[in-house]
A and B are shown apart, each in its own frame.
Chain A
Amino acid sequence: MKRNGSRFAAMILTGAMAAAMAVPAVSYAGDTDKIKIEYWHCNSEEQGGKTVDELVQKFNESNDHIEVTAKYNPDMYKGLMQNLQAEAATGSYPAVVQIGWAFLDYFSNNFSYTSPQDAIDKFDSEDSTFLSDNFLPNVLNLAVNSKGDQVGIPYSLSNPVLYINKDLLKEAGVSEDGPATWEEVAQFAKAVKEKTGKYGFYMQEPADFWAQQALIESNGASMLTKDADGKAQASFASDEGAEAMQLVADMVKDGSALHVGWDEGCQSFIDGNCAMLYTTIARRASVQDGAKFDVATVKSPVWEGKDRKVPAGGCFLAITAQGDDQIQAAWEFEKYLYSVESMAAWTIGTGYVPPRKDVADAENGLKDFLAENKMMNAAIEQMDGVVPWTAFPGDAGLQAEQLLLDMRDQILGGQASAKDAMTSTQDQINELLNAQ
């Protein structure tokens, strides 16, 4: 009996809450009646958390009807996703959440969200072209799921660039403006090795395949393709893919490139032992602070005659608010986050690239900042080449990621040729994908 009683109470409560939500926001006097919404993010103090707090505080002060609370979720986007799942089970949702690229499909399949265009049409119709006015189509496309829906708007964006030690390049007798193509990278690295005895190149090797995706997809390979039935298949082991990986493997083999851990490689670039470093723009500040030589960044190299493709790191913002006034408030807050000033603050605080147009040149945007931090420019200029970061679908995804890392070690360690290692890894991944 008791259990039934409590269930009954819960029903009444839920009903009351639903009723409360359905009632349009009426403005009463006093703070207590502000619409309260939550913003969930993954920015630790180290990586932009301070900026989140500043932005939220500024927003709360600048308006009289919405109060945003920022909530930090540790363990990055995976941690946020787990927390969101737990929260959704209780029936309550935050209003705005950061979703990592890898979780795009998972999120849109499992949670109810409001597409940004829907929110705009409903609550901000005079600005109905906000998205197309302010974002590059390929950037917007990052937040489109496999069904073709615009799930959210890209927010934190990083991409890989080539950091160069101009002094070392000059010493090696090659152009100090750095290489433009991967073929040149190899050639420059060799020159550095021969003329200075130092290492020419290091490509980041953390526990993901992000940078290598840029390398092989720029050569025309694709990590994943859909077959006729719409089923995703790994496809990186093409000739172009193998050629790209083999280039780096050969550099390691002849001693012109390093094959070490991420932090070790960055350390060797920063202290002047390695002339070129291929890593995320998010590491700009730490490189800039540590390096004593003439350091610069250039855009991610291309392959002779081919287009640049750089995977995006970071996240997009999605609206998970339920109920009209919550959604309206969420959109108002989100629009504020995408304003030129907020975007500029976000870039300065995090080292990410602004996803929207016009921020870089605007006086109230990043104009001064970029004049001082020229190393950001390469990342901003290559925004037209940004592509989604490949996530292997389903439960097999985790294992597929691991197989890619193992493959990278085999190739760079010289245990197998790029073609062989990639072919066998591709087969294994497809076997996993087909099994599920």
Chain B
Amino acid sequence: MADQKKQSVLGYVFLIPSLAAFCVFMFYPLFYTVYLSFFDWNMIQPQKKFVGFQNYVILLRAPNTWKILGNTFWYIVILLILNWALPYLVSFVLSFVVGRMRGFYKSALFLPSIISLVVGSILYTWILNPVSGPVAILLKPLGIRLPFWTKTDGWVIAGLCIITTWKTFGYNLIVLLAGISGVSPEVIEAARLDNVPLRRIFFDIVVPMSSATGIYVFIITIVQGLQYVFTPIKVITQGGPNYASSNLIYMSYHNAFTLFKTGTASAASVLTMLLFVILLLLEFRFVERGVYYEN
């Protein structure tokens, strides 16, 4: 019995370092941000002014907020296509369609994942220059003109998503590959012998059998993707033109550290958190139980 007690005490003790770090730099800030969202403050004034829900009201009344929410939606859609659907397909192709050079593709496609997104942003500013960049020069003879994407609504989101995808595609691919590896090759082989088309194999066999990983990557693409895209936004467009590339994450940052409005910044962060909590519940509902508590 005493031993049992010692065991549980030791269990807690081993947990203390990480738990303490999380409490100080994760959970306490989380609550403090919620607290700050009810005050009008600029980080310098000695007094914070309590304003109740006013920051939320201001936020939800501002026309830019709705534009930014719309942008956030489009970021999610494009990131899901480039960073979830596409790697899903490629991982399927790598697992069951092509055999040779599988290792090479995997290593090469993963490579940018280890490179700083600031590097990516800088390189792409030059590469995607709509007039002088290599892409523009190569497309010119074909009569294709690149839009002034850094200054054009819509295109700016697409451009920034491409940069983010450069970094995160490989990671998602690897995770999905591992998920697909759970699908037994015999099943695929049998389907193929029956001349089932690849498209059907993918949608009817592979996707359902790897759905746990699929949903995990789906959610990670949204949660991490929106945060990853912050770097190119900050480096290249600063949310412009006229908020066309801002998203919820950048909006918080911009309010906090450019305009020094901690109240609205915190309110925006809380909204983001709310969005992610909904995703978390989804994750828990569909995946977590199966993934983490299988035993």
Contact = CB atoms under 8 A, between A and B. Distances in A.
Report if A and B touch in the complex (beta carbons < 8 A).
yes
Interface of A: 199, 205, 207, 258-261, 263-264, 267-268, 271, 273-274, 395, 398-399, 402, 405-406, 409-410, 412-413, 415
Contacts of A409: 151, 240-242, 244
Interface string B114-145: 00000000000110011110000000000000
Q: Across chains A and B, which 10 residue pairs bring their CB atoms closest together, nearest first?
A: A409-B241, A409-B242, A268-B131, A268-B132, A406-B242, A261-B150, A273-B131, A271-B132, A259-B151, A264-B129
Contact of B148 (A259, A267, A274, A415): A259
A371 to B, nearest CB: 31
A192 to B, nearest CB: 13
Interface string B225-247: 00000000000111011111000
Given A267-B126, A271-B132, A402-B258, 5 more contacts: A260-B151, A261-B150, A268-B131, A413-B151, A415-B153
A264 to B, nearest CB: 5
Interface of B: 42, 125-126, 129-132, 148, 150-153, 236-238, 240-244, 258-260
A387 to B, nearest CB: 26
Contacts of A268: 129, 131-132
A328 B217 CA distance: 68
B240 A263 contact: no
Given A406-B243, A413-B151, A398 B258 contact: yes
B139 to A, nearest CB: 14
Contacts of A410: 242
Contacts of B132: 264, 267-268, 271, 273
Given A261-B125, A398-B259, A415-B242, A199 B151 contact: no
Interface of chain B: mostly helix, strand, loop or mixed: loop
Contacts of A402: 258-259
B160 to A, nearest CB: 12
A406 B132 CA distance: 26
A54 B259 CA distance: 37
| Residue from B132, B152, B238 whose CB has the most chain A CB atoms within 10 Å | B132
A261 B126 CA distance: 11
A409 B150 CA distance: 11
Contact of B236 (A261, A273, A415): A261
B125 A199 contact: no
A274 B131 contact: yes
A199 B259 contact: no
12 contacts: A199-B131, A258-B148, A260-B150, A261-B151, A264-B150, A267-B132, A271-B132, A273-B131, A398-B259, A402-B259, A405-B240, A413-B152
Given A264-B150, A399-B259, A413 B129 contact: no
A197 to B, nearest CB: 10
Contacts of B148: 258-260
Contacts of B240: 405-406, 409
Nearest to B42: A395
A264 B125 CA distance: 7
Nearest to A266: B132
Contacts of B238: 207
A271 B244 CA distance: 29
Given A199-B131, A258-B148, A273-B132, A413 B259 contact: no
Contacts of B126: 267
B243 to A, nearest CB: 7
A398 B42 CA distance: 12
B244 to A, nearest CB: 8
Contacts of A207: 238
Nearest to B254: A402
Contacts of B259: 398-399, 402
Given A395-B42, A398-B258, A402-B259, A413 B242 contact: yes
Contacts of B150: 260-261, 264
Nearest to B236: A261
A261 B152 CA distance: 11
Contacts of B258: 398, 402
A267 B137 CA distance: 13
A268 B132 CA distance: 5
B278 to A, nearest CB: 31
Nearest to B240: A409
A205 B153 CA distance: 16
Given A398-B259, A413-B152, A260 B242 contact: no
Given A274-B131, A398-B260, A402-B259, A263 B125 contact: yes
Contacts of A263: 125
Contacts of A199: 131
A412 B129 contact: no
A399 B148 CA distance: 26
A271 B125 CA distance: 15
A405 B246 CA distance: 14
Nearest to A395: B42
A258 B151 CA distance: 10
A395 B152 CA distance: 30
Contacts of A264: 125, 129-132, 150
A137 to B, nearest CB: 36
Contacts of B244: 409
A405 B242 CA distance: 7
A406 B63 CA distance: 13
A274 B150 CA distance: 17
A410 B244 CA distance: 10
Nearest to B122: A263
A264 B132 CA distance: 8
B162 to A, nearest CB: 16
A258 B131 contact: yes
Contacts of A413: 151-153, 241-242
B167 to A, nearest CB: 20
A405 B258 CA distance: 13
Contacts of A405: 240
| Residue from B148, B152, B153, B243 whose CB has the most chain A CB atoms within 10 Å | B148
Contacts of B151: 205, 259-261, 409, 412-413
Nearest to A271: B132
